[in-house]
Structure formats: C-alpha cells, structure tokens
C-alpha cells in the first residue's frame, strides 16, 4: 500500500493566488523527485451538516479558508527518499525563505499516513 503526507493549512482568501503559484512550484519539485501524486485543494464546502468543519480544526479566522493538500508515495521509505531530494532542491529553498510563503507556517498541520484502503483505478 502507498504512504501519504497530508497537510491542512488555514490561509487568507486574499492570498490564494500567491499560494497557487507556490503550490505549482512545489508540485513540480515533488513530482520531479518521484512522488506518485500531489494535490492541493482549496475549501469549497466547509459547513458540513455533521462532524467538525476543517475551519474549526484549523482555527481559520474570518477572511480565511482552508487548503487540504496531500502527496502520495509508494511507501514510507520512498517518502523519506523523495523528501530528502526535495529538501536539497534549490527551487524549494527559494520558497522557504522568510516571508515567501503566503500563509503562517506555524499554523500548518502535517502528518504522515499509512494507507489502509485504496483504489488505484
């Protein structure tokens, strides 16, 4: 089964265009280094009739939305190999400079996940 890194990011809606530019570069970097899939998704239906909304989990403030992003790998070992290459990539280094990200990095939520069910059609 695959391995997935997942992210939840509260972001000011006014910064979405800048975020999309950063995300396109990040997608290219991860895919160039062997990620199986890479998705960045912006909140669209964030007022569910059940459960806890992503806006509450992420402590999104007025004027913010939530980005849900994930990167798929063949395995955790593969993730570690890909991320080691990604962290050395100069394209990513540019994005990591102070003030370059259009959101507060301290509010980003992240985790690595073992896939327990999946369909690769």
DSSP codes, 19-77: HHHHHHHHHHHHHHTT-SEEEEEE-S----SSS--HHHHTTPPTTEEEEEEEEEESSHH
**pLDDT bracket for residue 87 (50, 70, 90):** very high
Q: Give the pairing of strands 109-114 and 3-12.
A: antiparallel
What's the mean pLDDT in 94-115?
89
C-alpha–C-alpha distance, residues 119 and 121, integer Å = 6
Confidence at residue 96, expressed as pLDDT on a 0 to 100 scale? 80
Kindly tell me if the per-residue pLDDT of 93 is higher than 90.
Answer: no
Kindly tell me if the per-residue pLDDT of 119 is higher than 90.
Answer: no
State pTM to two decimals.
Answer: 0.93
* More confident call, 119 vs 35: 35
Fold of 3-98: Alpha-Beta Plaits (3.30.70)
Confidence at residue 94, expressed as pLDDT on a 0 to 100 scale? 83
Kindly tell me if the per-residue pLDDT of 107 is higher than 90.
Answer: yes
**pLDDT bracket for residue 86 (50, 70, 90):** very high
What's the mean pLDDT in 3-32?
97
Average pLDDT, the chain: 94
């Amino acid at each position: 089964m695959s391995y997935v890194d997942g992210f939840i990011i509260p972001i000011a809606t006014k910064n979405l265009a800048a975020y999309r530019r950063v995300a396109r570069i990040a997608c290219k970097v991860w895919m160039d280094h062997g990620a199986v899939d890479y998705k960045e998704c912006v909140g669209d239906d964030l007022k569910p009739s059940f459960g806890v909304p992503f806006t509450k989990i992420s402590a999104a403030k007025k004027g913010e939305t939530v980005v849900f992003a994930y990167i798929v790998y063949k395995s955790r070992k593969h993730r570690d190999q890909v991320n080691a290459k990604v962290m050395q990539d100069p394209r990513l280094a540019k994005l990591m400079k102070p003030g370059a990200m259009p959101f507060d990095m301290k509010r980003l939520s992240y985790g690595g996940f073992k896939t327990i069910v999946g369909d690769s059609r």
